[in-house]
């Protein structure tokens, strides 16, 4: 069975850019949603929201706020690994077959 070959540097770079664009879109969407909820509540405090909807909004915002430190920590660790750990070391540590790598 042939050994898998690492993709060329250009393809790897394009894949990395595509993933970072998707990641940035997701972050922007999440931040925009939270900002819209805060803005809605701040500009119209007299509008009554159903208790169940208020609970959903409160829980969603609390989960987002509680998870942010872990997201930032993951981003920092990922950036450090991508910056200072050579690709050859990462390829040597990861399994050789495609399925376990995912």
**Per-residue pLDDT, 77:** 93
Instruction: Give the separation between CA 54 and CA 50, rounded to whole angstroms.
Output: 6
Q: Map tokens 């750990």 to a residue.
A: 85
Task: Write down the pLDDT at residue 12.
Answer: 57
pLDDT of residue 9: 60
**Cα four-point dihedral sign 88, 16, 83, 94:** negative
pLDDT at position 13: 61
Residues 87 and 45: their CA atoms lie apart, in Å, by 53
**pLDDT value of position 72:** 92
Residue 4's pLDDT is what?
56
Our CA dihedral for 16, 22, 26, 29, rounded to 10 degrees, sits at 140
- The whole-number mean pLDDT for each consecutive block of 10 residues of the chain, a chain of 102 residues, reads 56 58 78 81 73 84 89 92 90 77 64
């Amino acid at each position: 069975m042939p050994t898998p070959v690492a993709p060329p540097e250009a393809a790897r770079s394009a894949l990395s850019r595509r993933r970072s664009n998707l990641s940035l879109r997701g972050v922007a969407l999440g931040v925009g949603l939270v900002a819209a909820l805060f803005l809605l509540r701040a500009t119209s405090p007299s509008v009554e929201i159903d208790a169940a909807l208020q609970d959903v909004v409160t829980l969603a915002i609390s989960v987002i706020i509680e998870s942010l430190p872990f997201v930032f920590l993951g981003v920092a660790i990922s950036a450090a690994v991508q910056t200072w750990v050579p690709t050859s070391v990462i390829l040597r540590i990861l399994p050789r077959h495609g399925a376990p790598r995912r």
